[in-house]
Amino acid sequence: MPKGKIIVIGNEKGGTGKSTLAMHLIVWFLCCKKNVASVDLDGRQGTLTHYIQNRSDYANLHHITLGLPEHLSVTVRENPTEEQKRDDETAFMEQLEQLRNENDFIIVDTPGADSYLFRLAHMAADILITPLNDSLIDLDVLAKVEPETLTIKSPGHYAQTVWQARQKRASLKKPQMKWFVLRNRVMHVSTRNEKLIWKLLEALGKRINFTALSGLGERIVFRELFLKGLTLLDLGKSKSGVSMSMTHLAARQELRTILQAIGEDVCDRV
């Protein structure tokens, strides 16, 4: 019976492409014939849940088979009592453990805001992937930047959340979490800002122990695929009914590069 690896897609900011990345990882592992579970920790907004439902609806409409994960949607209480927090945390950890016992990978998509279950998911992560838009505004969650010298002044509030999760894992004698920060939605033209963000991320990564990687580029196709529940991995296959362009091929290679960088097997089935 497998003891699945928990991959958390986390950032204390919305609009960074977390759900898109989560769905692509889910489908990649499904294509590799792995048992996959997914957890939408933002049950209120439910972007990943809607993505998966769209996929199921598209498959039913077109009478085709598309891989689907075992899915769990979680809605975090507003203003819970301490007793309710403890009950929710216990239930969440029991659910994660059950999913680990039944699946090879558990992909957890988190909301863009802090909560007690958000922190618990980070503590449970074997691998943490933080998509980050290529801007100094989005970098603020990871680091405070000195405006005059454009150097790192101190870690940001999300970086502190990850540090606390690592400390908790250490106290429980769990293996160290691997943390990757993806420069997501990158424009395909090199700019001064792009070079600056990369320089700052590399410096911060050495300071607080994460690896900076290039993520998925900015492409309109991701918005279109969401409505059908499809990913770039489905394109070009007869069952999807959607053709593939050179842009799609380039994006698939970006995903392959991410998986290779985080140390996961890149199978030949995709």
Q: In the chain, where are the structural domains located?
A: 5-262
- Distance, in Å, from the CA atom of 179 to the CA atom of 127, rounded to the nearest integer, reads 6
Q: Of 155, 153, 131, which is closest to residue 142 (Cα–Cα)?
A: 155
pLDDT tens by residue, 178-228: 999 998 766 555 567 778 888 889 889 999 999 998 877 777 778 888 999
**Helix ranges restricted to H, the chain:** 18-31, 47-62, 82-102, 116-124, 136-139, 157-171, 192-208, 221-228, 246-262
How do residues 128-176 score in pLDDT, each as one tens digit?
A: 999 998 788 888 999 888 888 878 888 899 999 999 999 999 999 999 9
Confidence of residue 268 (pLDDT cuts 50, 70, 90): low
- Quick one: which H or E segment has residue 34? none
- The model's pTM: 0.91
Tell me how far CA of residue 12 lies from CA of 17, 29, 44, 94, 139, in angstroms: 12, 26, 16, 24, 11
Q: How confident is the model at residue 51 (pLDDT cuts 50, 70, 90)?
A: very high
CB 108 within 8 Å of CB 8? yes
Nearest to 130 by CA among 208, 243, 46: 208
What fold characterizes domain 5-262?
Rossmann fold (3.40.50)
What confidence category does residue 241 fall into, taking pLDDT thresholds of 50, 70 and 90? low
Would the CA dihedral through 202, 208, 209, 213 be positive or negative? negative
